[in-house]
Amino acid sequence: MSEDGRHRTRLHPCSLGLLGPGSKGVTWAVRLFILPPGCHLPIFRIPNRLLRLPRFQAMNVSDAVRRRRSIKRFTARPLDPEELAGLLELVVLAPNHRMTEPWRFVVLGPRAKRAWAEIKGESRAGRVDDAEVAEAIRRRTIEDIESLPGLIAFIQPLADAPDVREEDYATLYMGIQNLLLGAVDLGLGTHVKTGGELEGEGLREALGVGDGERVVALVQIGEPAELPAPKPRTAATHRTTWLP
Ligand SMILES: Cc1cc2nc3c(=O)[nH]c(=O)nc-3n(C[C@H](O)[C@H](O)[C@H](O)COP(=O)(O)O)c2cc1C
């Protein structure tokens, strides 16, 4: 608030941030948060497609960690298969106890996406009593999933030993995080999806998941249509004990 009592709008010095989205990693979006004095949360968002600048510096890992968000809406820009293949090569570099390399990836094409879309659509519609509303939800879900630029299933081969199985699951998620951060560097957005339907026969069949394997995540990926504000987090300092 200014001295005369009016609410002043100003640019927060830290709010002129560079965010990575763009086409094939060659563009950047500049995001301007217009904040009232003292406010540290973005209250105004500009769709990144409106703000493209040439990329001029490499992103470091901490930047990528800070800039990553779960992206709900993607542009229609199709993904280059090489981009996806490159990101999957980051997954396999994750730390991996015993080098079990506990992963298999399925990149869903239009037919597989449609199969998943129908499974998810039925599932969501099934939770609603009103038939008309249920049908609208089913259709909307199918449309949303079919229009995703990229969808990758992460499959874990299930080791017999429970401790190895647990470590393998952890490793797979470390690999997934590599992909999420690599995507930020390419100007892409991601969203991890899990849930009961991943265990269902319908998806397993559509993806060719065998006995002794489990789908641990579906990752949606594409160029972000907008960059959501970061979700508030409790600072690590509140959760840290430093022992002497
Ligand atoms: C293991 C895991 C499973 C998730 N499953 C879902 C999901 O099924 N549906 C969903 O909308 N988001 C899912 N998410 C995304 C989280 O909801 C999201 O990360 C969280 O809201 C924090 O937002 P941020 O990623 O933008 O920081 C999942 C994330 C993780 C790590």
The residues spanned by each domain of the chain are 1-57, 81-114+150-222
Q: Which residue among 67, 68, 69, 70 is best mutated to probe the pocket of ligand 1, counting the most ligand atoms within 8 A of its Cβ?
A: 70
Give the residue, 19 or 141, on which the prediction is more confident.
141
Please indicate whether residue 66, judged by its CB atom, sits closer than 6 Å to ligand 1: no
pLDDT digits (tens, 9 = 90+) for 63-83: 999 999 999 999 999 999 999
Please indicate whether residue 12, judged by its CB atom, sits closer than 6 Å to ligand 1: no
- Classify burial at 79, counting beta carbons within 10 Å of its beta carbon; exposed 0-12, middle 13-18, buried 19 or more: buried
Q: What's the token pair of residue 71?
A: 């992206």
Question: Of 40-44, 112-116, 140-144, where does mean pLDDT reach its minimum?
Answer: 40-44
Q: Which residue among 192, 221, 233 is best mutated to probe the pocket of ligand 1, counting the most ligand atoms within 8 A of its Cβ?
A: 192
Q: Which fold has domain 81-114+150-222?
A: NADH Oxidase (3.40.109)
- Classify burial at 219, counting beta carbons within 10 Å of its beta carbon; exposed 0-12, middle 13-18, buried 19 or more: buried
Amino acid at 99: M
* pLDDT at position 58: 73
* Closest ligand 1 atom to 191 CA: 15
**Is pTM beyond 0.85 here?**
no
Q: How far is ligand 1, taken at its centre, from the CA of residue 201, in Å? A: 23
Which protein residue's CA is at the shortest distance from atom 23 of ligand 1? 70
Question: Of 13-17, 220-224, 231-235, 239-243, where does mean pLDDT reach its minimum?
Answer: 13-17
Please indicate whether residue 194, judged by its CB atom, sits closer than 6 Å to ligand 1: yes
Which protein residue's CA is at the shortest distance from atom 28 of ligand 1? 192
- In the chain, the N- to C-terminal Cα span, in Å, equals 44
Please indicate whether residue 70, judged by its CB atom, sits closer than 6 Å to ligand 1: yes
Give the residue, 22 or 224, on which the prediction is more confident.
224
Give the list of residues 6+ apart from residue 204 with CB closer than 8 angstroms, or none.
Answer: 215
Please indicate whether residue 192, judged by its CB atom, sits closer than 6 Å to ligand 1: yes
pLDDT digits (tens, 9 = 90+) for 85-119: 999 999 999 999 999 999 999 999 999 999 999 99
* pLDDT band at 42; cut points 50, 70, 90: very low
Give the residue, 144 or 40, on which the prediction is more confident.
144
pLDDT digits (tens, 9 = 90+) for 148-196: 999 999 999 999 999 999 999 999 999 999 999 999 999 999 999 999 9
pLDDT for residue 222 is more than 50: yes
* pLDDT at position 20: 39
